[in-house]
Amino acid sequence: MTSRPRAMDNDCMVGRLRRLYQLQLEDHPDCPSLYAAYLQAGCELLGTGVGVVAHLDTGACHIDAAHPDEGPLSPGDTLALEKAPWAKAAATGETVITDGLTAECTCLATLVHTRDNSPTILAFCHRGGHPFPREDRELVELLARALDCATGSGLPRRRHRSTIDRLDQSNELFESVFQYAPIGMALIDTTGHILRSNEALTGILGYSDAALFGKHVREFTHPEDIEHNMALLEQTLAGEHGSYRMEKRYLHRDGAVIWGLLSVSLVRDGEGAPQYFIAQIQDITEIKQARLELERQRAALEVANRKLSAYALTDTLTDLPNRRAFEGRLAEAVAASNRNGQPVSLALIDVDDFKHYNDHFGHPAGDEALQVISAVMRDEARSADFLARYGGEEFALILPDTEEDEAVAACERLCASVASVRRLRTPVTVSIGCATHRPGDGDGADNDEVAVEALLHRADIVLYRAKHGGRNRVCREGGGPT
């Protein structure tokens, strides 16, 4: 064993304190390595051959660490309590000097801390009977206190520092995500005022971070969206939901309207008290404008489709419904007649000697004559009637809920109105054949398709009779001209 110096000068004391300070700055991954460092330093400073950290329980002393590794004691060794030279230090809580492990040894021991209600001892032994001086006792007490602080309820300082480092890394990560996120982000207090904003948000709104600080969210929210947005904030504060999402309009510093997709979450403390809101704002102005343009184009397409549908059912010369529209309306009228038991009449109309008029005055004059005749007949027809251009110089008139006599009277008025027109190159007349469908008349009258074909055929026969009976007249079924 090394011989121990018995004198202590100022330089030696300063050296001891410096070594103790270095120990406190060191990091260790676990308790065994921490204990080993303190025991090695203690043995070097005290000039002792053996250092021990041990804890006591009922009737036994358990070695936690020992220096040197090849010494008389090793970690995991257990001694009977009565053979442990440091038992008195544990019992009294004081620093004591006792006999060591052998008769030639002296032991300096002190209490470190209590772990699980078991005393933990720091002890150093050296060979020889000389007592440890006061400076040695003070050094051991300082080592014990430093060890107590370093372990901190059994948690090594490195573990504590690692926790702090992880927290620092988390904070740095949050700062990096917050500042460099591609979408706008803001921290908002519970009253709606901006606490922090990131670079993306300043770009969206046109304000600097300093200019946004302290502003209320109402100041850059579109007036029409303020009430809804504030209501959602209040509901979130009240605990009705933890977060919300909405599309809203912001006002840029230059006055432009910015559409944003806003997501807001409320951060609470450990006791559930509201702390602040985290808001994420994605600029969707281009998406919104594209969506609005798409809706405008869709609306325009619907209008165009309606016009196209109407065009497909309209005669371009006379602006009357065309034959296709007439056939659809006649089928509906006959079906309705069969359902409700009411008659429906049909009049087929032909312009007399139109080929001669067309050949003599030319096609433009013929087109003009058809336009004038169609306008006169439209004005004469009842609001419930359906007048269509059937083809060429032929027209058709559907008279729903109309018996034969009433239909013939309406056709006579129409025939007279056309004959009275004086603004054409020469007077023009029309011949009309009128037929009536009555549900239950037999011969397939109750079958809609059969009834339609039959009604057209009958009206055509009567029209033929009117044209070959002298023209400018109305003919009815079962009779001559009226």
Q: Judge whether 329 lies within some domain.
A: yes
For residues 357 and 369, the answer to whether their CB atoms sit within 8 Å is yes
Each residue's pLDDT tens digit, 118-151: 678 899 888 776 678 888 888 888 888 888 877 7
Q: Judge whether 70 lies within some domain.
A: yes
Q: Are residues 135 and 241 in the same domain?
A: no
User: DSSP string of 320-339?
Assistant: SB-HHHHHHHHHHHHHHHHH
Q: Are residues 143 and 210 in the same domain?
A: no
Q: Judge whether 392 lies within some domain.
A: yes
Question: Residue 255 carries which DSSP code?
Answer: S
pLDDT band at 223 (very low <50, low <70, confident <90, very high): very high
Beta bridge partners of 187: 196, 278
Q: Are residues 327 and 276 in the same domain?
A: no
* pLDDT computed for residue 443 by the predictor: 55
Place of tokens 């257990």: 78
d(CA 359, CA 369): 13
> In the chain, what percentage of residues exceed pLDDT 70?
89
Lowest model confidence (mean pLDDT) among 46-50, 199-203, 359-363:
46-50
- Quote the tokens at residue 294: 């798409």
Q: Judge whether 306 lies within some domain.
A: no
Each residue's pLDDT tens digit, 177-204: 788 888 999 999 999 999 999 999 999 9
Lowest model confidence (mean pLDDT) among 97-101, 117-121, 284-288, 437-441:
117-121
Q: Judge whether 233 lies within some domain.
A: yes
Lowest model confidence (mean pLDDT) among 45-54, 162-171, 247-256, 294-303:
162-171
d(CA 29, CA 19): 20
Q: Are residues 375 and 427 in the same domain?
A: yes
Q: Are residues 121 and 204 in the same domain?
A: no
Each residue's pLDDT tens digit, 69-94: 887 888 888 888 777 777 777 777 78
- Quote the tokens at residue 74: 């090793």
Q: Judge whether 257 lies within some domain.
A: yes
Q: What is the mean pLDDT of residues 240-253?
A: 93
Beta bridge partners of 120: 55
Each residue's pLDDT tens digit, 320-331: 999 999 999 999
**Over the chain, what is the mean pLDDT?**
86
Indicate which CATH number applies to the domain containing 75. Answer: 3.30.450.40
Length of the chain: 482
Range of the domain at 87: 10-159
Q: Judge whether 164 lies within some domain.
A: no
Q: Are residues 334 and 453 in the same domain?
A: yes
Q: Are residues 327 and 413 in the same domain?
A: yes
pLDDT band at 100 (very low <50, low <70, confident <90, very high): confident
Q: What is the mean pLDDT of residues 17-25?
A: 82
d(CA 269, CA 361): 96
- Quote the tokens at residue 145: 């206190």
Domains held by the chain: number: 3
* Vertex 341: Cα angle to 338 and 343 (nearest 5): 85
* pLDDT computed for residue 153 by the predictor: 44
Q: Are residues 222 and 267 in the same domain?
A: yes
* Continuous segment of H or E residues that includes residue 277: strand 274-283
pTM: 0.46
Quick check: bond before 182 cis, omega within 30? no
Q: Judge whether 63 lies within some domain.
A: yes
Indicate which CATH number applies to the domain containing 463. Answer: 3.30.70.270
* pLDDT computed for residue 56 by the predictor: 78
Question: Residue 314 carries which DSSP code?
Answer: B
Q: What is the mean pLDDT of residues 54-58?
A: 81
Q: What is the mean pLDDT of residues 22-31?
A: 81
User: DSSP string of 160-229?
Assistant: HHHHHHHHHHHHHHHHHHHHH-SSEEEEE-TTSBEEEE-HHHHHHHS--HHHHTT-BGGGGB-HHHHHHH
Question: Residue 81 carries which DSSP code?
Answer: G
Q: Are residues 472 and 328 in the same domain?
A: yes
- Quote the tokens at residue 177: 């995500």
